[in-house]
Structure 1
Amino acid sequence: MENLKSFDELTFLDNFMFQCVLRNQRLCKHLIEKILGISVKELHYQEFEKTINLGLASKGIRLDVYVKDDQGRVYDIEMQCSQVPYNGLAKRTRFYQSMIDMEQLEKGEKYENLNASYIIFICTFDPFGRNLPMYTFTHCCEEENTIKLNDGETRLFLNSKGSENAQDPEIAAFLRYVDGKAAEGEFVRSLDQEVQFVKSLEKVRREYMILSDEIRRRQEEAAAEAMAKGIQQERESNILGMLQEKIPMETISRITKASIAQIREIGKLHGVL
């Protein structure tokens, strides 16, 4: 079961605090502009931890920071503190992109109406092992890489371990901050001050306590469910073993407290009866 931090222990790297800090439009806008080298006039927040689920049978996603600007461009900013299996992070961004596109395009709309979108993962590790401060991916032709697909899709990964190779001093300072170093420079100090400001808000503290209680409740339910499932699997395994040993079902029922019907069903399921 995951150990949850207390509210006072939270840092910019923690999901809840990361979202709270980037609710500050000035800081979020500046971060986007520095990372992408573009100008953003105004941001419009969609939801706090945006959830996209397009169907009952579909896998949904929860986005950390999901905003649109005055030109309709979409930005999803994620804090990624744990490494995933090979290529898992890339495929995760692929799935996020597809879900965002599906939500953007209303039924009957033309594909040309899809707005430009940027998926930005801020990683506390080097996701591609080349020590670059950031890795930017857009689609281009393999045979002639000067030919761009220009589909408006950009996926970008920041590497907190590559700060020494960042040309922009603010990006370098930001990466060092994400890597656990002291806040340096006006922008990063503003981020750190926002963390402290958020911690001073009693309303936000209560929100985190409610969220923590809900997470613990779900963890306890999941643990109890897993334990019950394990007990049931062990019971079925014992019944199956006894059936294979040709022990009478009445004896198995007396030992395991399972009904004859249940024992028969298990036997049929595994081809013993």
Structure 2
Amino acid sequence: MARIKSWEELTIQDNFLFQKVMNNKRLCKYLIEKILNIRIHDITYPDSEKTIDIRMDSKSVRLDVYVTDELGRVYDIEIQCTNDPNGGLAKRTRYYQAMIDMDVLEKGSDYEELKPSYIIFICTFDAFHQGKPIYTFRNLCLEDSSLDMGDEATKIFLNSKGHSNSLDPDIAAFLRYVDGNAVEGAFVHELDMEVQRIKRHDETRREYMTLAMELRRQNKEGYKAGKEAGKKEGLVEGKTSTALEMLQDGVPIETIAKYTKLSVEYITKLSKAHNLI
């Protein structure tokens, strides 16, 4: 269970603070432009914290920074501090992409109207262990890598530990800042000023403290529920062990059920599984 940080400990690496900083439209727009090497006239925030929940039986997605531009292009930006050695991070971008597309289609659009989308993960680790500061993925033909499928879906992973002499200076300074290094350059200086401004904002501090209290409550309840479940599981295991011993001693199933409080059906299956009938 991850420790919940105090307000004073928060940095740009923390989702709550990162999201607040990216609510500064000018800074968010500039970061997207620099990462993708494109020009954007304007961006809008459909929701301050976009949650996509297509069906009641599907897993909902909460997107930290979800913006669109004047051409309808969609950008999802996430800060990631924990890697998944089993490829979970990459699979998450696949799921995010599907949910974003379904969200657009749910509004009545046809699939031909889907606009270019960019899922950008800013990582404090090297997700692909190649030392690159940026990894960009698109759907290309294996037989001819110059052939782009044209679905206009792009996934980008930034690596705060990566380095390249050809990297844009502002992005290089940004990645070093995310990695906990000193402020460098005008853009990162503005980012850091925004971080400090937000941390001086009493209302935002209270918002985080309320969130932290709720998370601690949920964690406590989850721990308690898990502990109780463990006790129940251990109790059943103990009764099962006792029932097996009684079966081996030839005690009738009905008698075993009476004293262990296990069902006759369960004990019968247990005896068959261990060839005791």
* TM score, norm. by length of structure 1: 0.91
Alignment correspondent of 2:153: 153
Alignment correspondent of 1:47: 47
Alignment correspondent of 1:114: 114
- Pairs within 5 Å for 1:142-181: 142-181=142-181
Alignment correspondent of 1:16: 16
In structure 2, C-alpha distance between the alignment counterparts of 1:135 and 1:36, rounded to whole Å: 11
Alignment correspondent of 1:79: 79
Asked if the contact 2:125/2:160 (under 8 Å) is kept, the reply is: yes
In structure 2, C-alpha distance between the alignment counterparts of 1:212 and 1:270, rounded to whole Å: 46
Alignment correspondent of 1:197: 197
Q: 2:181 corresponds to which letter in structure 1?
A: K
Q: 1:19 corresponds to which letter in structure 2?
A: Q
In structure 1, C-alpha distance between the alignment counterparts of 2:46 and 2:154, rounded to whole Å: 19
Offset at 1:263?
4.7
Asked if the contact 1:163/1:176 (under 8 Å) is kept, the reply is: no
* Runs of 4+ more than 6 Å apart: 247-254
Alignment correspondent of 1:27: 27
Q: 1:195 corresponds to which letter in structure 2?
A: V
Asked if the contact 2:246/2:256 (under 8 Å) is kept, the reply is: no
Residues 219 and 268 of structure 1: CA distance in aligned 2, closer, same or farther (over 3 Å): farther
Q: 1:233 corresponds to which letter in structure 2?
A: E
Residues 220 and 269 of structure 1: CA distance in aligned 2, closer, same or farther (over 3 Å): farther
Residues 108 and 179 of structure 1: CA distance in aligned 2, closer, same or farther (over 3 Å): closer
Of the structure 1 ranges 109-118 and 74-83, higher mean CA displacement relative to structure 2 is found in 109-118
Alignment correspondent of 1:132: 132
In structure 1, C-alpha distance between the alignment counterparts of 2:211 and 2:201, rounded to whole Å: 16
- Pairs within 5 Å for 1:57-76: 57-76=57-76
How many residue pairs get aligned? The number is: 268
Q: 2:167 corresponds to which letter in structure 1?
A: Q
Offset at 1:224?
0.8
Cα deviation per residue 1:218-246 (whole Å; 9 max; x = unaligned)? 10111011001100000000110111011
Of the structure 1 ranges 156-165 and 168-177, higher mean CA displacement relative to structure 2 is found in 156-165
Q: 2:152 corresponds to which letter in structure 1?
A: G
Q: Any idea what SS the aligned residue of 1:48 has?
A: coil
Residues 121 and 239 of structure 1: CA distance in aligned 2, closer, same or farther (over 3 Å): same
Residues 136 and 266 of structure 1: CA distance in aligned 2, closer, same or farther (over 3 Å): same
Superposition CA RMSD, Å: 2.0
Offset at 1:10?
0.4
Offset at 1:107?
6.6
Asked if the contact 1:239/1:252 (under 8 Å) is kept, the reply is: no
Question: Percent identity between the aligned chains?
Answer: 49
Q: 1:17 corresponds to which letter in structure 2?
A: L
Of the structure 1 ranges 148-157 and 138-147, higher mean CA displacement relative to structure 2 is found in 138-147
Q: 1:178 corresponds to which letter in structure 2?
A: V
Offset at 1:266?
4.6
Of the structure 1 ranges 91-100 and 102-111, higher mean CA displacement relative to structure 2 is found in 102-111
Offset at 1:252?
8.0
Alignment correspondent of 1:92: 92
In structure 1, C-alpha distance between the alignment counterparts of 2:165 and 2:268, rounded to whole Å: 64
In structure 2, C-alpha distance between the alignment counterparts of 1:253 and 1:231, rounded to whole Å: 21
In structure 2, C-alpha distance between the alignment counterparts of 1:124 and 1:57, rounded to whole Å: 32
- Pairs within 5 Å for 1:226-245: 226-245=226-245
